Amino acid sequence: MKNLNPILLSLPLLMAACDLVKVKDDTAPQADSPRIIARANDHYLYITDLEGIVSPGASPGDSIDLVKAYINNWVRKQLLIDEASARIDFDEAEIQRKILDYRYSLIAYEYKAYYINQHLNKEVSDEEIANYYQENQDNFPLKQNIIRGRFIRLPKDAPKTLDIKRLIFTTREEKLEALKAYCFNYALMYSLEDSVWINFDDIIKNTPLAEIPNKVDFLKRTKYTESHDETSKYYLLIREYKKTDDIAPLEVVKDQIIDIIINKRKVELARNLEKEVYEKAVETNAFEIY
């Protein structure tokens, strides 16, 4: 592979990257053959085989790295193919059938992806989400304990901590704003959006509460708790909880349901495409089975 870089820099950048193994006839190159880039036993890789390895706009450095990687992979694959051929008797016809099947699968996949991209509706209504959730709740067990509540971690010397217990329970907007302002100025960590479900273990991580031996029992009997360690004070208000293996609240699995609905649409579009192509072929007498 000496003197490779000047050759690589002169390659036309025409097509998307490709990693197909190109096996040449087991004959020596002819005088008018394109420039040889690599040889593996009796197989030859030509400069023309490298067209399209690098996408347009790639930097010279990236182009060289990509082509070098392709050449190295080509050599390794040819050597492995020769080793396999020497040790195993292959059914060449079966190999060719598999290659054709793989080619057809790739073409069909690319067309289906194009078709789906052109026709897919990604808008999912709240009604669709709620209906799917109601019909499939058993498919959404929780994998962790979750809570809705408030959590505040303060440095041990934070001022006016007596106000925290009064403010942390508030449902009044002006007092909640006062609590937010206090936390913004003094808290080391805080979570005050009690309408949002959060992972209980994430909240109590690196706090004395992380050592609770039975977290489910703790959640059942606790609405509010305070704790401290050498550096900090911790305040936890639990408005609601769900334990592991309970059905997840809709809010927690909403994004997951949206993905499921969109994926189901993709599958349906792919099926419709196959049906449309077949029915059109029937109408136009495009195929016959003898």
pLDDT tens sequence for the chain (290 residues): 444 444 344 343 323 333 333 444 445 666 667 889 999 999 999 988 888 888 888 888 888 888 999 999 999 999 999 999 899 888 889 989 999 999 999 999 999 999 999 999 999 999 999 999 999 999 999 999 999 999 999 999 999 998 888 899 999 999 999 999 999 999 999 999 999 999 999 999 999 999 999 999 999 999 999 999 999 999 999 999 999 999 999 999 999 999 999 999 999 999 999 999 999 999 999 988 88
Distance CA 129, CA 253 (A): 10
Helix, strand, coil fractions of the chain, as percent rounded to 5: 50, 15, 35
* Range list of β-strands (E), the chain: 36-40, 43-46, 146-155, 189-191, 198-199, 224-228, 232-242
Q: What pLDDT shows up at residue 27?
A: 52
pTM: 0.70
Residue reference for tokens 């072929």: 281
Provide the pairing of β-strand 232-242 with 146-155: antiparallel
63: left (phi over 0), alpha (psi -120 to 50) or beta: alpha
232: which residues sit within 8 A by CB, 6+ positions away?
A: 153, 154, 155, 156, 188, 207
110: left (phi over 0), alpha (psi -120 to 50) or beta: alpha
Distance CA 105, CA 200 (A): 46
Alpha helices by DSSP H, listed for 13-161, are: 60-87, 92-119, 126-135
Q: What pLDDT shows up at residue 10?
A: 39
**How many of the other CB atoms lie within 10 Å of CB of 102?**
10
Residue type, 84: A
Q: Which of 126, 156, 148 is closest to 198 using CA atoms?
A: 148
Q: What pLDDT shows up at residue 241?
A: 97
Query: What does the domain layout of the chain look like in residue ranges?
Result: 4-89, 142-242
Q: What pLDDT shows up at residue 3?
A: 42
Q: What pLDDT shows up at residue 122?
A: 96
Residue 91 three-state SS: coil
Q: What pLDDT shows up at residue 31?
A: 62
Q: What pLDDT shows up at residue 55?
A: 80
Distance CA 141, CA 95 (A): 46
Q: What pLDDT shows up at residue 236?
A: 97
Q: What pLDDT shows up at residue 28?
A: 61
